[in-house]
Amino acid sequence: GNPSSLHAFGREAARALEESRATLAKVLNCEAGEIVFTSGGTESDNLALLGVAALAKTKRVITTAIEHPAVLKTCDYLEANGFEVVRLPVDRYGIIRMADLERALSKEAAAVSVMHANNEVGSVQPIDAVAKLCASKGVPLHVDAVQSFGKLPIELSKAPISLLSVSSHKIHGPKGAGALFVRRGVKLSPRLLGGGHERGLRSGTENVSGIVGFAKAAEIARRNRVKNCRKMSLLRDRLAKRVLAANKGAWLNGPTGVKRLCNNANFSFPGIEGEALVLRLDAEGIAASTGSACSSKSLKPSHVLLAMGLTPVQAHGSLRLTLSRFTTAREIDYAAGKIAQVVKELGGFSNVSREEAMRRV
């Protein structure tokens, strides 16, 4: 039933919707009334940035050079419509410098948008410090937590974050469901107009089945987060060790240890074209990419790796692998072996010289 309907089917759907809202709020450590359900991370990011910008007196936003396209393209749109967009640089590990953010905040800003963890190289940003700095300047902070949700702790009752995006399918929930945390008191202009659903912020009949599945997946992810992340971290490090040992000259992009998402590995292979590597691995039953899965059909080099100081040639030779809580040691060893085999086979056919690819910044 439609949760907005008055009949029994509608009331049942409405109960399921509100129970799911309460569950997600418990996972995020916030109030149920601060959860706005959306179709996923992209919509949540758009609603956060465009919603704040529409009501802002200051036409200036701050973000980073390595955000997901859902944020970067939204910032491009704002820029085309008269906003100044400050894109903070990152270091060679994909992490922003707090001094750069502090300088950027020396002038007024409508909003700051910083991802919790990067989707391509797994770098974890110092979000608590970012949130405190933004709060001290009175600037709302939006955090894209789509990648980190279910893997890193998020304490919205403690961190002064104004807006936070999460998505269902990143935690093994149904595709097409997501949410935006909107802290009480933060004003947004809606992007979808209609029946005034979700406190008037997101019109359109809610995807009840998707949202119920999302809430259940969030509950499971929260309950098993520490155990699952410990397992994935060990497997991630096992993969990195074996891949780097078998492929001399290759390197791991991004940080190591706790500054990296537990399920992310991103390698560069000198002299190898990433697209060819991905296709060959696919034939061996290994799902990989050369960048974000949302844009990997593009032949452009990863904007994340370029921002970290790699050349276009080096960025084209990258390979991203993402683990899940279902990944096994046997699968890791199989993948490492096949990567070594395919890299060796492709080594003599690349149009890029190994010497050129090895020139790192």
d(CA 253, CA 318): 8
Neighbours of 72 (CB within 10 A): 19
Catalytic pick among 30, 75, 134, 294: 294
Question: Among this protein's residues, is 134 annotated catalytic?
Answer: no
CB 28 within 8 Å of CB 157: no
b/e map of 117-135 (b: 16 or more CB within 10 Å)?
bbbbbbbbbbbeebbebbe
Handedness of CA 230, 236, 240, 246 (dihedral sign): positive
Closest CA to 251 of 351, 126, 121, 349: 121
Q: Which helix (H) or strand (E) holds 101?
A: helix 98-104
213-260 pLDDT, tens per residue?
999 999 999 999 999 999 999 999 999 999 999 998 999 999 999 999
**Mind listing the pLDDT tens digit for each residue in 298-336?**
578 999 999 999 999 999 999 999 999 999 999 999 999
Query: Does residue 40 come out as left (phi exceeding 0), alpha (psi in the -120 to 50 range) or beta?
Result: left
| pLDDT < 50: residue spans in the chain | 292-293, 295-296, 348-349, 352-354, 357-358, 360-361
Kindly tell me the sign of the dihedral angle through the C-alpha atoms of 345, 350, 356, 361.
negative
* Domains of the chain with bracketed CATH: 8-223 (3.40.640.10), 225-357 (3.90.1150.10)
